[in-house]
Amino acid sequence: MNSLDFDYSIILAHDTKHFAIGLHDESGFSIPWKSSLDMSYFRAVTMNKIVIMGHNTFKSLKMTQGLNNRINIVLTSHLYEQTDSFRTAKSVQDV
């Protein structure tokens, strides 16, 4: 079975002016907006599911084990200690 032969959902968040998905400023990488409604929706939709994110998104969480009650997969070439709820992959095909 191909690793993508299953049902999945994608949540893509970006600003409407520049279609930016991230912001780099003096505090590091983050999303360029703060919306409790967006965060609540994301939490509800991803709870007890698999969340795949890039290295910079993972760093912006400022958590060492990712999001609670989810399997976190970080697409990165960096080495991290992996746990039951946190894994790394070098590409989507490795997931």
* Residue 12 main-chain phi, psi, to 5 deg: -120, 125
Domain-embedded: residue 8: no
The reported pLDDT for the residue numbered 3 is: 53
Give dist(CA 71, CA 38) in Å, integer. 20
Q: Which residues pair with 73 in a beta bridge?
A: 52, 87
Domain-embedded: residue 1: no
Domain-embedded: residue 2: no
Domain-embedded: residue 12: no
Domain-embedded: residue 52: yes
Domain housing 75: 23-94
The structural domain count of the chain equals 1
Give dist(CA 21, CA 75) in Å, integer. 16
How far is residue 68 from each of residues 41, 46, 59, 64, measured CA to CA in Å?
A: 15, 10, 15, 11
Domain-embedded: residue 69: yes
pLDDT tens, per residue, the chain with 95 residues: 445 555 667 777 666 776 666 666 666 656 656 778 888 888 898 999 888 888 878 887 777 778 999 889 998 888 777 877 788 898 878 87
Domain-embedded: residue 59: yes
The reported pLDDT for the residue numbered 7 is: 66
CATH number of the domain encompassing residue 90? 3.40.430.10
